[in-house]
Amino acid sequence: MSQLYRFSEYRKASRRVFFNRTELNQLLSLYSRHVANGDWRDYAIDQVGGAAIFSVFRHTHDAPLFSIAKQGNAKNPEFVVFSGREKLKRAKSLGEALKVFKGKLKVVS
């Protein structure tokens, strides 16, 4: 027999977290800058439990160099930047979390 599901109840129960368009633009902009520098070569977007995760890789078959996770709900999201299992930065906005990747200025002779 078939079962009838109400979408409104299913959506409330699922509690899925997604990156919105603005956040994806920020993430892909950061990714493209590092690809141009030759630092990163691949990325993946996953959904694990109640988090959306953007991971970057130096080589396709390696473990991720960095992972940026969006956790929480739509009203109060939290962004965490990981390097392996180490938490590098935790912030309420993606822009603030991505400041971890701002390089220091170097003197070029």
List all residues 6 or more positions away from 30 whose beta carbon is below 8 Å from its beta carbon.
Answer: 98, 101
User: How do residues 52-83 score in pLDDT, each as one tens digit?
Assistant: 999 999 987 889 999 999 998 878 899 999 99
CA dihedral 105→107→108→109, nearest 10 degrees, is: 170
The residue-averaged pLDDT of 6-28 equals 80
Between 7 and 36, the higher pLDDT residue: 36
